Each structure stands twice: as structure tokens, then as C-alpha cells.
Structure 1
């Protein structure tokens, strides 16, 4: 069975530990990191619209203007993703495939899980209390649209059950 483990900064160790605990030795583990396209796009736009106005890409090198910061952000993001995937593979301690994708994060995760037998991800919202707000928008989208079973984990111990709100009052009695 192919198991996709969504690797995200801050929560990846718990996801890797869940993969070690909940998969068989012969399962194919895919460590997935997705870099959102938003940040490089903002840097590209800032350079083109504000800083690079009227100057073709790559010109004015004597003044240091020829370097599009969006390209630099893309390179930094790729290097960071590779380091994160390597750390996750080292922690996993068994053969795995490392996949790096770029795009709308939630959609890339769902697409990567298309042929998977299991998707492992961590809560990415408010993890201080139980409830739906413990899922951020990306994780909520993935949970709602995943084409396979999902193992949703707490990256740290779950909050106490005392945080569950009281049940709603019973409906009024109609005569």
C-alpha cells in the first residue's frame, strides 16, 4: 500500500512518527512537501511592479537590480524543502520516496494522494483546544477532498476532553 505523509514545517516529526507506528514494513512511504506558489509570486510582482519598473529582467547588473527576488525565494524554498524531506527521511529510517511539489498546497496534496491507500497529516490550526478550528483551511480542504483514508494526528498531545463544549439544550417541548 502506498502511504503519503504530508511533510510541513513544525508538524512533520509527528507525521513521520505516525507513519512509523501505523504502517507495515512493506508499505511504500511517500514523503510529500508542497511549496505554495504565493510567496515567489508576490516577490516576482513586487520586483516587476515596483522595483523593476521599465527595466527588462536581468539588466542593470552594475546596480544590483538584475536579480528577481522571486527567483531567489524559489531557490530558497526548494533548498528548504529538500532539507526538510531529508530530515523526515532520516527520522523515518527506512526506504521512502521523497516528492516535492509546487502550487496550491491543498490541491497538490489531494492530487498526490490520488493512488494512495492512506494519507497522513497533522492538524494545522488552533491546537490549543479540541474542535473544528484545530484544522486550518489547507488541512480542512485536504480532509474533505482526500481520495483515500486519512490519518489525522495531533502534532503534540491532544488538549484535555474538558475543552469539549457542553451539549446543546434539548429542543423545547411542543404540545
Structure 2
């Protein structure tokens, strides 16, 4: 559990809310964040899908009809989905929290959001059938490597057994 630094200082816990793993992160925050901690639920929408839609419209269909640009609709759908996910996470958390929506390069936005945090909670999002570094996707690996605060890394489901560890490397002479 994270303890307060000095009397009167509030502990800030940032919980990265991502599709497919958010429930485990919220459960970990409930279990490990002090009751009086400020909990920030963070969702980051990448810009790649709306950007591709904008680019396809401009390149294939020409310019001059912004109202028909599908990228704008994709952006609105992503924002609505993020709000629904944050609402579900807040309900599951069951205590006061702040909801933050960001967009951009996901891994960089998460690191930036954790700049003043006392704890960052995130989940494994890669190959979850075995223990090891491949259990982290590229964005999560970046966040773990660059987080400016302690990280609580959780399994979204029960962790695989120790028998899934890769064999040790051969001895070199």
C-alpha cells in the first residue's frame, strides 16, 4: 500500500484505464490505494485511427467537404467510448475520483499524466499465457521503463504458473 509522504500531503494514484484490462487496474487501486488518496482514472485515445480516416478522406475524396470527413466521426465515437469506459471504472472503484481523458501517443500521455503521481497502476497487455517480458505490449513496456513514479503492474486475470518461465540461457565460457 502507498503511504502518505508527510502529514497533510495527499497521495495521488493514477490508474491507466485501457480496454480489456481496466477492471483489474481498478480492483488493484481499490486494494492498494489509501482510502484518502486522490485517485485519477486515466484513459488515452490514440490519434492513429482518426488520423488515418482524415488522411483517407483528404487523399481519396478530395478537400472542400469537411462535414463529410469520417475522421471527425471517429474522433467523436472514440471520445464517447472513453467516457463510457471511465464511467464504468468510476462505478467499479466506488469512491470519489477524477476522470481524465487524453489523446495522443498513448505511452507518452500516460507517462506525462503520472509525472506528479505517487503510484501508477497499469496492467499487462501482451502475451498473458506465460510469465516474462512478452506479457507487456510496446506501449506498456515504454510506460514501465519511463514512469516517473512507482508502478503497480497487475495481471488482468490470474497469472500463469512458474512453469511458463523460459529456460535459462545457455552458460557461456
Verify same fold: TM over 0.5.
Answer: yes
**Deviation per residue, 1:73-94 (Å, 9 max, x gap):** 0000000000000000000000
Name 1:151's counterpart in structure 2: 152
- Secondary structure of the 1:157 match is coil
- Secondary structure of the 2:68 match is coil
Answering whether residue 8 of structure 2 is matched by residue 7 of structure 1, we say: no
Answering whether residue 36 of structure 2 is matched by residue 26 of structure 1, we say: yes
- Secondary structure of the 2:49 match is helix
Name 1:42's counterpart in structure 2: 52
CA distance in 2, matches of 1:164, 1:68: 48
CA distance in 2, matches of 1:165, 1:122: 21
Answering whether residue 64 of structure 2 is matched by residue 56 of structure 1, we say: yes
- Secondary structure of the 2:127 match is coil
Q: CA deviation at 1:32?
A: 0.1
Name 1:168's counterpart in structure 2: 169
CA distance in 1, matches of 2:142, 2:171: 32
User: Matches of residues 92-171 of structure 1 in structure 2 within 5 Å?
Assistant: 92-171=93-172
Structure number with greater Rg is: 1
CA distance in 2, matches of 1:77, 1:169: 47
Q: CA deviation at 1:57?
A: 2.6
Q: Any gaps of 5 or more consecutive residues in structure 1? A: 59-65
Q: Any gaps of 5 or more consecutive residues in structure 2? A: 1-10
CA distance in 2, matches of 1:87, 1:165: 37
Name 1:62's counterpart in structure 2: none
Q: CA deviation at 1:124?
A: 1.1
Name 1:79's counterpart in structure 2: 80
- Secondary structure of the 2:140 match is helix
